[in-house]
Amino acid sequence: MSKLTPVFKCCNEMTLISSWPESYPYAAGMPEIVLLTRIFDVAACQYAQPFAQSYKAITGYDLPFTTLADDEIAAIRDACTRFIADTEELKKVAQKEVDKAKKHISDIRSGVIRSDDRYPLKAMLDDAEMRLLNEEKRRDGIHEKLDKKIRVLKAVINVKHDDDLSHIINISLRDFSGNVSTRVNCYKSMFAALQRITSLSNEMRVKIEAGSVILRRSNTEGEFINEQIDKVTFDYYRGDNEALRNCMTLAEYTELRLSKIKEDARIDTVIKLGLNEPVID
């Protein structure tokens, strides 16, 4: 049985991961927003899988994973076909306004629409061409937005059980529903948290100046400190340290151990460098 990440008072990363939204299967007749949400939910679970093994090894917790049953796959395929057709019709509506603006210019030039003293021909053409320009910009904006949605729907219209949809997460969400973009941005925050945990990221790590002989001593100390900070970080995220994450942050826990780590680093450096070469300050 899987053990999901709980909420912790002092660990923002794990608390963020614990808020992974519940996902519900898509069924025939459900609206487009439900389909898009489900698609991104599945994509998010697949995107997170490269972190799953390391995250489990460090924390003992599992990441949610969503699979599609046969009946849901059939419903998704049918819905994608229908929603793509509906979206293509919306694109035609935007194009019709452009066509009307072009016809208006043609009617002016052919004399179907006549100018007069109050509205001279040049002014009529200038206004008509500006209208066409605005309609084309409007059409292009609508088409760009709708084409983005069509790309998502086409990516899953022939989906099978073992298909990888993780790439969908990286699609720009600027033109999507606020609910969808908010949900995906939340997933991306969770991915960042997973990255920090599985890479044992810790702001108290020491910067090492690679290749510097003059800084050999401080670099040697820094390498030792970083190794120990990695151990402290791993210790903080361990599954049996839930009580620790409810009473202090990673920074506080690291700070608590840091003075002893630095003292051990100085001793370790003297031993290492003292045997082979003089210590350079």
Task: Check: CB of residue 21 under 8 Å from CB of residue 42.
Answer: no
- In 60-165, alpha helices (H): 70-110, 121-156
**pLDDT for res 177:** 78
Q: What is the 3-state secondary structure (H, E, C) of 261-272?
A: HHHHHHHHHHHH
Task: Check: CB of residue 180 under 8 Å from CB of residue 173.
Answer: yes
**pLDDT for res 262:** 94
**pLDDT for res 275:** 47
Give residue 57's Cα distance to chain centre: 23
Tens digits of pLDDT across the chain (281 residues): 689 999 999 999 999 999 999 999 999 999 999 999 999 999 999 999 999 999 999 999 999 998 899 999 999 999 999 999 999 999 999 999 999 999 999 999 988 888 887 889 999 999 999 999 999 999 999 999 899 889 999 989 888 887 899 999 998 877 777 889 999 999 999 999 999 999 999 999 999 887 666 688 888 899 999 999 999 999 999 999 999 999 999 999 999 999 999 999 999 988 888 745 444 44
- Full-prediction pTM beyond 0.75? yes
DSSP E strand boundaries for 134-251:
none
**pLDDT for res 56:** 97
**pLDDT for res 117:** 76
Task: Check: CB of residue 16 under 8 Å from CB of residue 194.
Answer: no
**pLDDT for res 247:** 97
Instruction: Report CA Rg, the chain.
Output: 30
**pLDDT for res 91:** 94
